[in-house]
Amino acid sequence: MKRLLLGLAAFALVLALPLPAFAGGGRQPDDLRELSHKLRMYIGSAVDVTALAEEADYRQVLNREFTHITAENAMKWESVEPQRGVYTWEGADAIVRNAQRNRQKVRGHTLVWHNQLPTWLTEGVADGSIDAKELRRILRDHIMTEAGRYRGKIRAWDVVNEVVDDEGNMRESIWLTHLGPGYIADAFRWAHQADPHAKLYINDYNLEWNTAKIDTTLAIVKDLKAKRVPIHGIGFQGHLGIQYDYPADFPAVMSRFTDLGLEAAITEADVRMVMPATPEKLATQADYYQRMLATCAANDRCVEFTVWGYTDRHSWVPGWFDGEGAANIMDENLAPKPAYNALLSVRRT
């Protein structure tokens, strides 16, 4: 009897101890690569091609921590074909090679966008020297050439990026204006022809919460599927800021897309703040990051969580939002911030 009581007391003591944060699989993972394996999903980062070439510490942490990468700029049209017919693949090739050496999958970003187009193209369209028929041929060639070059080396392509505006209209772009809305289906078909095994995505920002954009994007996906166009994935960029409420409906929004049979990815996560950073702001940022990753981990069809750069040393945020910054999970010296540790505590639910 005494033994039984002692046993019960010991059991009660065990119950009273705080559970480790990573309750599902015992101890918390040591780094994001281990977390990626435990969650059975890819954890990625955007890559700055200059930093990859010139900063050994940046390269080392990138290759240690991540199981997926996206070229931040090196695969965009202006980077790969700055003059008509003159291709500059060096940056994109270096990123793909580095990924292969380090057992990282690659997200191709991006085949069709309204930004970072080469000037020969935008000026040619503006001055009428490139007409609609030629423009369509140019777009086809671009997709076939780039997706073809990396055939078999890209897990997923952002085929079209940001094609819906914040009011929920089809975005005004040279593509919509000159080719009509059918350019989207064309782009997916061409990409599939060029690389039949790549998962083909539509990708956008504010899609975590903007209902007008969500509804239009859902309508586009349904229309493409009805026409048997090869579309496989929905990308939520995940550019958040702590001065705004966290988009609490995000899990439900993601399900509306995955219920259509798409896979999902969070493709460009970062969480900016008005500077200076304080411990409170960094704690809020950590919470936002954790909730984004948890949203992906809770959805069986969400396969990838990628941050838009992993260090505050290289971030698009200060250059775009006056007075804002500190959006990434490591600081400028590559020391983990609270957000990094918060990610490590996420588990599958």
Using CB under 6 A as the criterion, what x/- string covers residues 205-244 for binding ligand 9MR? x-------------------------------x-------
Residue 167: partners with Cβ closer than 8 Å, 6 or more residues away? 212
State the minimum distance, in angstroms, from the CB of residue 114 to ligand 9MR: 10
Residues between 286 and 305 that touch ligand 9MR (CB under 6 A): none
Q: Name the nearest CA neighbour of 203 among 236, 249, 230.
A: 236
State the minimum distance, in angstroms, from the CB of residue 160 to ligand 9MR: 12
Chain position carrying tokens 């896979």: 263
Closest residue to ligand 9MR, based on beta-carbon distance: 316
311 binds ligand 9MR (CB under 6 A): no
201 binds ligand 9MR (CB under 6 A): no
Look up residue 183 and give its two tokens. 């350019």
Q: Strand, helix or coil at 170? A: strand
Task: Find out whether 144 and 185 touch, Cβ atoms under 8 Å.
Answer: no
Bridge partners of residue 83, in order along the sequence: 86
Whichever of 237 and 299 has its CB closer to ligand 9MR, that residue is 237
Contact residue for ligand 9MR among 28, 73, 145, 255 (CB under 6 A)? 73
Whichever of 53 and 298 has its CB closer to ligand 9MR, that residue is 53
Say how many C-beta atoms besides its own lie within 10 A of residue 120's C-beta: 18
DSSP secondary structure string for all residues of 125-150:
HHTTSS-HHHHHHHHHHHHHHHHHHT
Pairwise CA distance, residues 194 & 93, whole Å: 17
From the candidates 81, 146, 268, 304, give the one annotated as an active-site residue: 268
115 binds ligand 9MR (CB under 6 A): yes
Let me know if 162 is a catalytic residue.
yes
Residue 77: partners with Cβ closer than 8 Å, 6 or more residues away? 113, 116, 117, 118, 121, 142
Number of residues that bind ligand 9MR (CB under 6 A): 9
Q: 34: part of which helix (H) or strand (E)?
A: helix 32-39
Whichever of 113 and 250 has its CB closer to ligand 9MR, that residue is 113
Whichever of 73 and 345 has its CB closer to ligand 9MR, that residue is 73
Q: 282: part of which helix (H) or strand (E)?
A: helix 279-297
Angle of CA points 194, 207, 321, to nearest 5°: 100
For 318, how many CA atoms within 13 A lie in the half-sphere containing its CB?
11
From the candidates 162, 208, 263, 304, give the one annotated as an active-site residue: 162
60 binds ligand 9MR (CB under 6 A): no
316 binds ligand 9MR (CB under 6 A): yes
Whichever of 29 and 162 has its CB closer to ligand 9MR, that residue is 162
Residues between 146 and 165 that touch ligand 9MR (CB under 6 A): 161
Task: Find out whether 343 and 310 touch, Cβ atoms under 8 Å.
Answer: no
Contact residue for ligand 9MR among 60, 116, 177, 211 (CB under 6 A)? 116
119 binds ligand 9MR (CB under 6 A): no
State the minimum distance, in angstroms, from the CB of residue 66 to ligand 9MR: 17
Whichever of 33 and 205 has its CB closer to ligand 9MR, that residue is 205
Determine the straight-line distance between the first and last CA of the chain, rounded to whole angstroms. Answer: 39
Whichever of 115 and 243 has its CB closer to ligand 9MR, that residue is 115
72 binds ligand 9MR (CB under 6 A): yes
Let me know if 55 is a catalytic residue.
no
Q: What number of residues does the chain have? A: 349
Q: 156: part of which helix (H) or strand (E)?
A: strand 156-161
Where on the chain is the footprint of ligand 9MR (CB under 6 A)? Answer: 72-73, 115-116, 161, 205, 237, 268, 316
Active site residues: 162, 268
